[in-house]
Amino acid sequence: MSAIDLSVLTARQVRDGVASGTFSAREVADAAYARIEAVDDDVHAFLELSQDLAYEAADRVDAMRAAGDELPPLAGVPAGIKDNMNLVGTHTTCSSRMLEGYESVYDCTAVRRLIDAGALPIGKCNMDEFAFGSSTENSAFGPTRNPWDLERVPGGSSGGSAACVAAGMTSISLGSDTGGSIRQPGALTGTVALKPTYGRVSRYGVVAFGSSLDQIGPFGKSVDDVALALEAIAGADPMDATSAPEPVGRYTQALDLGAEGLRVGIVRDMLDLEGCAAEVRASVDMAAETFAALGAEVGEVDLPATRHGLAAYYIIGPAEASSNLARFDGIRYGHRVPDAADVIDLYTRSRAEGFGPESIRRIMLGTYALSAGYYDAYYGQAQKARTRIIEDFRAAFERFDVLLTPTTPGVAFHFGEKSDPYTMYLNDVYTIPVNLAGNCAVSVPSGLCSGSGMPIGLQIIADHFAEETLLRAAAAFEEATAFEPVPPLARIPK
């Protein structure tokens, strides 16, 4: 192993190596780009590399160390950025022909905070177009492949962000989660993936999908990685009215508290949903036994309204997406045909050429749900279901500190395996209720499937703004299970 083997080093180990002088931040950037050159032709995690920005950030860190200044918490840590987050000096395409060639004119707050904390912005990561998908097969620029098995998907929509961490190209990355788009790819790639509470992290500068659902969060190799990243990016932002004025916790300090005394609830009715693989169900029972052995109080709880979560989400999400994407009309933003006969022809052809099939499907669903005569029957009813889901979670957290569910019904599937939309949407059946309620949740690896050798993810859910409790539980489980994934390099032919 070289001094800087990003396939095994955590964010803290990279930061400590820079701080001690074992290696420089510039050498870390060199290692990241060398790793990308070696494996990303196979994985396709990145759409664009931002070497100039990364080396500028590295040189700032190295200059601080040379001057004897205190280093920021993520000094020299290489990071991937999902391509729906603006960063001046890069393009922001949302993996869509609609925004192909668009240059960022301002910075996403979360990305800027990550860089200000010393992270190196390595590049922009592939994703499902406009975050519509669960496999990254919907990218206009080609799919990302799972570093564990190149014939399988990495999940989505933040598939590139998950894959670049899993394959050792970066230590951390940022994704966005509207219905599971951080946690689901985290589970499928064996990474730790955190969706903070809605409002915990500013959404300013991220291209909106569902404005009442979207939240930015980090991927990492360990719970400590995502805790470090969350400390950097969390907090109120005057540029985002939905960001919360809640104080930012010292999340890393909660990681050593252990699970003793925690009240842990297994969401039994979600475990019994049709389509949940036997080994995935067994992994949750194993997790419950692990927490009990650690001194937690373990019980069971039902969340009956969550069975309506998928249906409610696919009304609310597309409705908000239809509104948010209306701006991409060939006039103000986005792809524009050069030879339109009139304004109707301009709108129709520009949007038909710019958007892919899944984007068109969701825009049409959302527009229909919001149309006159159908608003109350669909959108109004979906919002009522959402309220019931919020109430179920509120009642559960009166009894428990954290809840356990699978992150996904199964492990990573093969490309093309889930060809119809409904089968694809079912991948998010466990994650969507958390977005509808606005709670925080994290996916942590909980073992490997005996048949395929692919990672299984455990979802841990906590109450609003209870990230310290959430990460405390996740760290205790991580330490007790000592999950060590097979290095992805061994599975990437070269």
pLDDT tens-digit readout, 385-413 = 999 999 999 999 999 999 999 999 999 99
Residue 111 pLDDT > 90, yes or no? yes
Q: Is residue 301 part of a domain?
A: no
pLDDT in tens, 27-52: 999 999 999 999 999 999 999 999 99
The pLDDT assigned to 31 comes to 97
Q: Is residue 87 part of a domain?
A: yes
Give long-range contacts, CB 8 A cutoff, 24+ apart: 250-255.
250/468, 251/227, 251/467, 251/468, 251/471, 252/224, 252/227, 252/228, 254/227, 254/468, 254/469, 254/471, 254/472, 254/475, 255/223, 255/224, 255/227, 255/471, 255/472, 255/475
pLDDT in tens, 280-336: 999 999 999 999 999 999 999 999 999 999 999 999 999 999 999 999 999 988 999
Quickly state the pLDDT bin for 132 (edges 50, 70, 90).
very high
Lowest mean pLDDT among 205-209, 261-265, 483-487: 483-487
Q: Is residue 331 part of a domain?
A: no
Could you tell me the residue range of the domain that residue 88 belongs to?
11-266+399-491
Q: Tell me how many degrees the CA angle 117-121-127 measures, rounded to the nearest 5.
A: 120
Six-digit token pair at 415?
């490309």
Q: Is residue 24 part of a domain?
A: yes
Number of domains in the chain: 1
Mean per-residue pLDDT, 361-388: 95
The pLDDT assigned to 3 comes to 72
Q: Is residue 353 part of a domain?
A: no
The pLDDT assigned to 492 comes to 60
Measured distance CA(384)–CA(305) in Å, rounded? 10
CATH number, residue 403: 3.90.1300.10
Q: Is residue 330 part of a domain?
A: no
Mean per-residue pLDDT, 152-168: 97
The pLDDT assigned to 490 comes to 52
Q: Is residue 23 part of a domain?
A: yes
pLDDT in tens, 248-296: 999 999 999 999 999 999 999 998 887 899 999 999 999 999 999 999 9
Residues with catalytic annotation?
Answer: 82, 157, 181
The pLDDT assigned to 488 comes to 67
Q: Is residue 390 part of a domain?
A: no
